[in-house]
Amino acid sequence: MCEHHHHHEHLKGNDKLQLIKIILAIVFFTLAIVTPSAGIVKVMIFLTAYIIAGGDVVIKAVKNIFKGEIFDENFLMVIATAGAFAIKEYPEAVMVMILYQIGEFLQEKAVAKSRKSISQLMDIRPDYANIEIDGKLTKVNPSVVKKDDIITVKTGEKIPLDGTVIEGHASVDTSALTGESVPRELSAGDSAISGCINTNGFLKIKVEKEFGESTVSKILELVEHAGSKKAKAENFITKFARYYTPAVVAGAAILAVLPPLILHADFNIWLQRALTFLVISCPCALVISVPLGFFAGIGGASKAGILIKGACYIEALSNPDYVVFDKTGTLTKGTFKVTEIHTSNITEEELLKLCAQAENYSSHPIAASLKEAYGKEINIESIKNVEEIAGNGVKANIDGDEILAGNSNLMDMFNVDFSTIDSAGTIVYTAKNRKFIGYIVISDEIKEDAKLTINNLKTLANQTVMLTGDSQKNAQYIAEELGVDKFYAELLPAQKVEKLEELISGKTKNKSVIFAGDGINDAPVLTRADVGIAMGGLGSDAAIEAADAVIMDDKPSKIVKAILIAKKTMSIVKQNIVFALGIKALFLILGAFGIITMWGAVFADTGVALLAVINSLRALKA
């Protein structure tokens, strides 16, 4: 196998060293060419140029032989160039190494560009936290800060740990996490997420999670291991190289020996062809460009605020059969809002005021939405004898009147004469002194880009499906509003997994089932899907841990973006495979018949690898 990892993490100093080495090798090569003598001096100058350019390749080859890794790129290069020296083709031997090093240098630059997009995410790592010790602010390592400690974040500083703002107001830049340039406003009571930058203002934050459990720590861990899960295409290339390289070495040996014996041809000519054959055979274009293509795709997605945990998920995302959604928090905002008010012998404002007063002491989301819609201060002195009737609503005495606010069961319980309303959403029926005075409809808002997402998915997937624990009526309303192909309502978490299993068992071969949920109560389904996508991963531990891909903001349209990035990445990977194999096959045939020389062989190796790398970098442009 052609081990072409190179640990592409060279520092700028190493880049300069490599450049100096290339320049020196070219100087000695030129000196050897212009040296008039054909004797030992000329050979020694060529040998010096060869050692400068290819010394490290020879050392790697020897080390790998002792490790049992014989058939790698370094071995092929050394055998081919040593053979060229043996038949006195000194310029070709040296130039193979020089061009190889130039190609390596340019590849390093290209790979560095790919890594940069992901390493930018590493910039979210906080350098320090400001904590008050003995009345003074002290900078400490975030890892030593404990839960419930108070930290301060000044303008221009990163928020080092997750917590709740207890004092101050600031605008924070979340772009490193979400890919979105619009800042978020934070003030007392808001959650502060590590990795964001305070662009203006001052914040005091009570720490809720130690550094190892914080959002930034989990994301950094995810990013660092993003390349560990290989796609089928990568595994294919690994296996291919394992068998291909020994085969071409054997082919080169046969090419060097058989024709001279059978045809009584010049041994040197066929040995040169065999050596050319060896240089061409290096499968580097495949071994470097295919993983790099996936890596660039992961980098392009991260720039868009989509974290994908490995190449295998890029492959699965590129070919979806079903895209399955949770409803609340994924297609809808998960926040309730008053959408309709219908009254009988009372104004809308009066009805809303009575409901808000009756629900004043409740912490239920329905109560919160009523108080928010009313939007005025409630006089609590006018509210007496509040009784919460579990699962049905509330009964309260307001300014001497008995007010009932709740569901239809509550109305029946107190013999109120009313008509049941058929409407999507939660209905709050209201009665004053046992007489029906109207109803308020409270609905979960659909996200702004949800409908566009479903429409776009019609062309990218076979079917869109919605799974929800909500009522049949509400689910039907949302499904029809968005144009979802199928929906299943009133499901418990275990039943969601069962439905997903049904879809997986019935999917088209080699296609995938994608599930998108909010990552809080959908962990079992996220885990079971071919690709689990967690929505709104910003600050959600469950999302980051359970999902295969995390959309850092709350936009379902990013699912479409993720699929398009995956499709583009897979297209580039396939182009590289076809291009590299095609050129290799053509040049191997031409090399065997002596139509091309060692110079053409260098293009077939390093040149093709470099072109494939440059093509891979297109995946960075999400």
SS (H, E, C) 41-110: HHHHHHHHHHHHHHHHHHHHHHHHHHHCCCCCHHHHHHHHHHHHHHCCCHHHHHHHHHHHHHHHHHHHHH
CA 524 distance to own-chain centroid: 20
Region 24-33: what's the mean pLDDT?
92
Give, as one character, the DSSP assignment of residue 337.
E
- Side-chain-side CA neighbours of residue 379 (13 Å): 7
Is residue 117 over pLDDT 80?
no
- The whole-angstrom separation of Cα 437 and Cα 387 is 20
Give the per-residue pLDDT at 119. 56
Give the per-residue pLDDT at 611. 85
- The whole-angstrom separation of Cα 43 and Cα 37 is 9
Is residue 547 over pLDDT 80?
yes
pLDDT in tens, 415-469: 999 998 877 778 899 999 999 999 999 888 889 999 999 999 999 999 999 998 7
Q: Band of the pLDDT at 151, cuts 50, 70, 90?
A: very high
Lowest model confidence (mean pLDDT) among 215-224, 574-583, 607-616: 215-224
**Domain 306-331+447-552: homologous superfamily in CATH:** HAD superfamily/HAD-like (3.40.50.1000)
- Delimiting residues of CATH 3.40.50.1000 domain(s) in the chain: 306-331+447-552
How open is the CA angle 606-607-609, to the nearest 5 degrees? 65
Query: What b/e readout covers 40-67, taking b as 16+ CB neighbours within 10 angstroms?
Result: eebbebbbbbbebbbebbbebbeebeee
Query: Is 3.40.1110.10 the CATH number for 334-445?
Result: yes
Region 266-295: what's the mean pLDDT?
79
- Delimiting residues of CATH 3.40.1110.10 domain(s) in the chain: 334-445
CB 393 within 8 A of CB 406: yes
CA distances from 523 to 46, 218, 395, 496, 542 (A): 63, 16, 38, 11, 7
- Delimiting residues of CATH 2.70.150.10 domain(s) in the chain: 127-160+162-208
Name the percent of the chain lying above pLDDT 70: 87
Give the per-residue pLDDT at 519. 61
pLDDT in tens, 260-280: 888 887 888 888 888 888 777
Region 515-542: what's the mean pLDDT?
78
In this structure, the dihedral spanned by the alpha carbons of residues 223, 227, 231 and 233, taken in order and rounded to 10 degrees, is 140
Q: What rounded mean pLDDT belongs to the chain?
A: 83
- pTM comes to 0.73
Residue keyed to tokens 């799974």:
467
Q: Band of the pLDDT at 124, cuts 50, 70, 90?
A: low
286 versus 530: the higher-pLDDT residue is 530
Q: Band of the pLDDT at 5, cuts 50, 70, 90?
A: very low
Give the per-residue pLDDT at 412. 94
In the set 326, 444, 553, 554, the catalytic residue is 326
Is residue 18 over pLDDT 60?
yes
Active site residue 326: yes
Give the per-residue pLDDT at 50. 93
**Residue closest to 442 by CA, chosen among 427, 421, 422:** 427
Give the per-residue pLDDT at 355. 94
Q: Band of the pLDDT at 11, cuts 50, 70, 90?
A: very low
Sign of CA dihedral 237, 240, 246, 247: negative
Phi, psi (degrees; rounded to nearest 5) at 130 = -90, 115
Q: Band of the pLDDT at 496, cuts 50, 70, 90?
A: confident
End-to-end CA distance of the chain: 32
Is residue 562 over pLDDT 90?
yes
175 versus 9: the higher-pLDDT residue is 175
**Residue closest to 507 by CA, chosen among 324, 321, 325, 319:** 321
- Helix (H) or strand (E) segment spanning residue 200: strand 197-207
Give the per-residue pLDDT at 114. 57
CATH code of the domain made up of 127-160+162-208: 2.70.150.10
Give the per-residue pLDDT at 453. 96
- How many C-beta atoms surround the C-beta of residue 38 within 10 A? 9
- The whole-angstrom separation of Cα 228 and Cα 416 is 64
